Amino acid sequence: MLSDYRRIFSPAGSLLFSTAGFVSRLPQSMIGVGIVTMLSQLGGEYLLAGSVSATQALAAAAIGPQISRLVDRHGQRRVVLPATAVTVAAICALLLCARYAAPDWTLYVAAALAGCMPSMGALVRSRWAELHRKSPRLLHTAYSLESVLDEVVYVVGPALAITLSTSVFAEAGPLTAAVLLAGGVLLFAAQRRTEPPVHPALERAGGSALRIPGLGLLVLTLTSVGASYGSVEVATVAYAGAHDHKALSGLLLGVYALGSGLAGAVFGAMRPRGVITRRLLLSVWAMAVTMAPLLFEPSLAVLAGVLFVAGMSVAPTLITTMGLVGRLAPAAQLTESITWVVSGLSVGVALGYATSGWLIDAAGAAAGYWVPCAAALLAASTVSLALPRLTRADAR
């Protein structure tokens, strides 16, 4: 089963770009929580810290697809280097404004400019698609590997940012994110032999990748999936705190991520069977069903088991969605298409944070789990209703 994981790295340079992509993705999980921790450590209000962090996240969701569209048009190296330079400069400006108590509006401007951060996950997946376009099985395995690495990124990154900003100095978390981004992108851009070619057809195609049949439906689906994922995090922290064991929330969320990571690794080693749209339908409904036990207010020990099982449907959903995007999008718009889906996921996570936090304040910690359950059900319903259109688009 593991032979496919070895085979995906047989092309020269594949291990190097995947490693560089991992390093340059870490900042994406560090910057948001790093901003909140930094500003709170410097004496700022949590409302200000949260809104500045949200500004960066929303800017990245809006700007990211436009940067990826330029990547498809002009090539990865020519676009990601200047975009990264702008991002690193903006992060440095944000640190200086925070340190020297500049007016609040300067924090928002710097955070918005930091949203120019390239979607490295999309760029890495575009390279895998170019290398293994003629082997759907290996491409499935490569996408599975990247989904597992995403889980690692979102477990390690926030913990690293918080630890640095609380133990070293307030700006250490975002500063480290900027250094990792610069180093990772430079190493990634240096791997010229695996860079996908520019497709002149894009010059004639024009328009947003959202016009691709079925892609908008996948963006909506992953927005709901992201809302489910994000709200689980907030609800679990609140639920553990309500049971006087808030310190265990990190362990519980680690179990949730472990379930997703292990399922993604096993899923990637399996040969894909059946129509891909039906595999997506099964995975989102599995997510909806496995989330339901969270509503029964389990003990923390039982909650760990429930979260592990619920997490097992996350990675297969993301892997299958990315595989379907690769089938729907032409090569000339693949990076932009993947970035739109990733942006939908990111916006969903932000919505999950906000919605679950509001519900917890209004109705208590246990009520917070209604948000991930409702969001997962919405994702499953979206795919169910859209299945005929997605199947027709895939057939084309």
pLDDT in tens, 349-373: 888 877 887 888 888 888 989 999 9
109-118, 179-188, 209-218, 264-273, range with the lowest pLDDT: 264-273
Q: What pLDDT score does 129 carry?
A: 85
Q: What pLDDT score does 183 carry?
A: 95
Tell me how far CA of residue 346 lies from CA of 28, 30, 33, 140, 170, in angstroms: 10, 14, 14, 22, 25
Q: What pLDDT score does 1 carry?
A: 55
Tell me the mean pLDDT in the region 196-216.
Answer: 73
Most confident of 139-143, 283-287, 314-318: 283-287
182 half-sphere exposure, CB direction, 13 A CA radius: 15
Q: What pLDDT score does 176 carry?
A: 94
**Residue 367: Cβ within 10 Å count:** 18
- Statement: residue 199 has pLDDT above 80: no
To 10 degrees, the CA torsion angle through 135, 139, 141, 143? -170
Secondary-structure percent of the chain, ordered helix, strand, coil, rounded to 5: 85, 0, 15
Record: fold of 8-133+154-195: Growth Hormone; Chain: A; (1.20.1250)
The pLDDT > 70 percentage for the chain reads: 97
Tell me the mean pLDDT in the region 148-162.
Answer: 80
Q: What pLDDT score does 317 carry?
A: 93
Token duo for residue 287: 């997510």
Most confident of 5-14, 246-255, 312-321, 327-336: 312-321
- Residue pair 49/35 in contact (Cβ under 8 Å)? The answer is yes
pLDDT band at 24 (very low <50, low <70, confident <90, very high): very high
- Statement: residue 178 has pLDDT above 90: yes
Look over the chain and give the mean of its residue pLDDT values, rounded to a whole number.
87
- Statement: residue 263 has pLDDT above 80: yes
Domain ranges of the chain: 8-133+154-195, 209-396
The whole-angstrom separation of Cα 21 and Cα 25 is: 6
Q: What pLDDT score does 371 carry?
A: 92
- Statement: residue 188 has pLDDT above 60: yes
- Statement: residue 57 has pLDDT above 70: yes
Q: What pLDDT score does 309 carry?
A: 95
Give, in degrees to the nearest 5, the angle at Cα 261 between 146 and 117.
Answer: 40
Tell me the mean pLDDT in the region 200-219.
Answer: 75
User: Tens digits of per-residue pLDDT, 62-89?
Assistant: 898 889 888 888 888 999 999 999 999 9
- Statement: residue 203 has pLDDT above 60: no
User: Tens digits of per-residue pLDDT, 281-314?
Assistant: 999 999 999 999 999 988 999 999 999 999 999 9
- Same fold for the domain at 8-133+154-195 and the one at 209-396? yes
Record: fold of 209-396: Growth Hormone; Chain: A; (1.20.1250)
Please give the residue that has the higher pLDDT: either 291 or 12. 291
pLDDT band at 205 (very low <50, low <70, confident <90, very high): low
Give me the DSSP letters along 322-339.
HHHHHHHS-GGGHHHHHH
Give, in degrees to the nearest 5, the angle at Cα 286 between 351 and 312.
Answer: 80
pLDDT band at 202 (very low <50, low <70, confident <90, very high): low
pLDDT band at 265 (very low <50, low <70, confident <90, very high): confident
Q: What pLDDT score does 46 carry?
A: 64
Q: Can you give the pTM of this predicted structure?
A: 0.83
Please give the residue that has the higher pLDDT: either 230 or 47. 230
